[in-house]
Structure 1
């Protein structure tokens, strides 16, 4: 809810900023000439001699329009909502939570490693035994490809669990 209010406030501020754009026509005054210099620089602060020396050309006819926008204010960091220090977890509680999470991850890793070993045994290095209903070679090949994908997926799962355990300082 807070993020939607924040984004709504930001959207309103952006809409106001766009609506408040000030378009200021700058007309060349009688005594001032507007020059267009190399590098797309427009100025009226040069004398005719300086302008010709820099390779600037006078602008005749169309006035220059300068658009000035309102710079949006930086967003303030979000404050904690009322809870203060009560929401902090005691160090003993955090250690207990970490130990529980580590035990769960270790159990999950053992289960996944056992499933991976069973899949690899059945896969038999890409040469699984044919089943009775696989007289068609294409059907056999499809099963081999599905098994290969399963082995790859399980290996990725095991690697992810090992990475998670490494965050707890446990060597896999």
Structure 2
């Protein structure tokens, strides 16, 4: 508990304006273009305890969709189908790119034994690259699954 409050008290956030005019948020205010932000600590409250035998998950009731207000802009069917088609093409292009990236990563990974490069005389450097490849493969596989899920949710034409 003491460590958590100490960490919250010692963290400072500075807003710095770069030479190009963009704002950058940092934990150090080294330049004269930085101003310290007044940030309140985040408070967490434990969840309420449920009586024995009660479940936190409640059954989902089917809800009727609410009608749009009369002033809400409508899109005709052809325009919506065109947008849906564009979305499908974009998702398919992204999926194709991710699948190609995944194939290349798996080739480089070589079942956990990637080919050593000249700059990897130290085993720790080789192991770090192997771990990065493994993490990249996992991330790319998740991207492929997410894109496939998005494509499955699209309306069929």
**Smaller-chain TM-score range?**
0.5 to 0.7
Residue 74 of structure 2: aligned partner: 88
Q: Deviations along 1:9-45, whole A, 9 cap, x unmatched?
A: xxxxxxxxxxxxxxxxxxxxxxxxxxxxxxxxxxxxx
Match of 1:125 in 2: 111
Among 98, 107, 127, the alignment partner of 1:141 is 127
TM-score, structure 1 normalization: 0.49
Match 1:157 to one of 124, 143, 146: 143
What is the distance in 1 between the residues matched to 2:94 and 2:106?
A: 18
SS in 2 for 1:84: coil
What is the rounded CA distance, in whole Å, between the counterparts of 1:144 and 1:138 in structure 2? Answer: 10
Q: Is 1:111 the counterpart of 2:116 in the alignment?
A: no
The TM-score with structure 2 as length reference comes to 0.53
**Runs of 5+ unmatched residues, structure 1:** 1-76
| 92 and 107 in structure 1: CA distance in 2 versus 1, 3 angstrom threshold | same
Would you identify which runs of 4 or more consecutive aligned residues in structure 1 move more than 6 Å? none
CA distance 1:169–1:121, change in 2 (3 Å):
farther
Q: Say which structure is richer in helix.
A: 1
Residue of structure 2 equivalent to 1:55: none
SS at match of 2:111: coil
Consecutive unaligned residues of structure 2, counting only runs of 5 or more, are: 1-65
Q: Aligned residues, how many?
A: 90
For residues 141 and 155 of structure 2, the distance between their equivalents in structure 1, rounded to whole angstroms, comes to 21
Q: Matches of 1:160 and 1:168 in 2, distance apart?
A: 13
RMSD, matched Cα: 1.9
Instruction: Return the offset for 1:169.
Output: 5.0
Rg larger in 1 or in 2? 1
What does residue 4 of structure 1 align with? Answer: none
Q: Which has the higher contact order (CA 8 A, sep 6+)?
A: 1
